[in-house]
Amino acid sequence: MKPMFRTMLAAAALLAMTGCASQQGMYDWGGYSGLLYQNYKKPETVAANMVKLQEHVAVMEQRKAKVAPGLYADLGTMYLQAGDRDRAVDNYRKERAAWPESAGLMDSMIKSLAGKPAVEAKS
Amino acid sequence: MKVFLAVFLALLVTGCAAPVTKSDFSAFQAAKPRSILVVPAVNKSLDVDAPNYLLTTLSVPLAEKGFYVFPVHTTRTVLEQEGLYEGDAIHQQPPQALASLFGADAVLYVTINRWDAQYALITTTVTVNFDYRLVAKDGTELWKANKQMQYAPQTQNTGHPLGNLIAAAVSAALTRADPNYLPLAVMANDQVFNIGPTAIPVGPYRVVN
């Protein structure tokens, strides 16, 4: 019985979401919420989720479609947490360019990364 | 007399319709927020993972409503760097301070009142209940709402009393083993932001067709 409920509930949730999406969905999220959820639920999937998000934004760029709010920035933070500062900064810059509301936060993220030496100094 | 009666009836009918009170959005409309900072929730449930899971469900509905929503994972990371790990500590910060730290127009606070599965003999009821509160960068409350969503597995009628009992027990045991809260949280958010008297005004990116 359970799988059926699950399916029904998932279908209802999907309807609720795509119900909005078909009428008013503005963005292609590329499974962003689900990827974040997996990050928190199964930390061993973080690297794979980061790749998926990267692929999604690459597709969006290819299509010249607007990348949804926060995607570049959270991808940047995933890179940062994986130790890749250059890609982190690169994505923070893209978020800032796409969404002017993010400027204050992105500037301080970029600045704090630029200010740090390449090898983490022992505090 | 007939006309009078008709008017009276019409009044009665609309009188019934009217009491659906719509939230007061004058502060919201005056503040015209463009961007919303979603901070980790206060957790009154026993599930320690609930705030993280809930956090992943809030960006999409608010952004589709037309607001810039700050990246929730980045937000959480920045707050941790500030020493703010728990919703309780975060919600105690003045909204003005949080808004200015991120450059946000408004802050969304959510409190998780319920995120649980209640077990009875042969049924399991899964419940989520949230308090939502949106506050402007100057501290003005723009909107608040509460939403509860619940589901109890319904089992198919097997046409046999003992069969029904067993089917219900199996279903309840499975739900108990791994209750799935996320679809309920998604539905709660969708309903509270988009449907009925609590539905919030659209943001600047929403293209009205």
Give a three-class secondary structure readout of A83-106. Answer: CCHHHHHHHHHHHHHHCHHHHHHH
Record: contact B59-A32, CB cut-off 8 A: yes
> Quick check: is B173 in a domain?
no
> In this structure, what CATH number is given to the domain that contains residue B43?
3.40.50.10610
Output the CA–CA distances (angstroms, integers) from residue A59 to A56, B59, B70, B85, B116, in the order listed.
5, 21, 22, 34, 39
What are the backbone dihedrals phi and psi of residue B194, each rounded to the nearest 5 degrees, phi first? -115, -20
- B52 lies in which domain range? 22-117+127-148+181-196
Which amino acid, residue B66? G
Is the pTM higher than 0.90? The answer reads no
A102 with B68: Cβ contact below 8 A: yes
Q: Are the beta carbons of B74 and A37 separated by less than 8 Å?
A: no
B107 in any annotated domain: yes
CA–CA gap between residue B137 and residue B65 (Å, rounded): 19
Per residue in B50-73, pLDDT (tens digit) is: 999 999 999 999 999 999 999 999
Residue B108 lies in a domain: yes
Q: Which of A23, A66, A101 is best to mutate for the B interface (most B CBs within 10 A)?
A: A101
Total domain count, chain B: 1
**Phi, psi of A49, deg, nearest 5:** -65, -35
CATH architecture observed for domain A26-115: Alpha Horseshoe (1.25)
- Tell me, yes or no, whether B165 lies in a domain: no
Mutate to test the interface with B, among A80, A105, A120 (most CBs of B within 10 A): A105
Tens of pLDDT along chain A (123 residues) come to 445 555 555 555 544 444 444 345 899 999 999 999 999 999 999 999 999 999 999 999 999 999 999 999 999 999 999 999 999 999 999 999 999 999 999 999 999 998 765 544 444
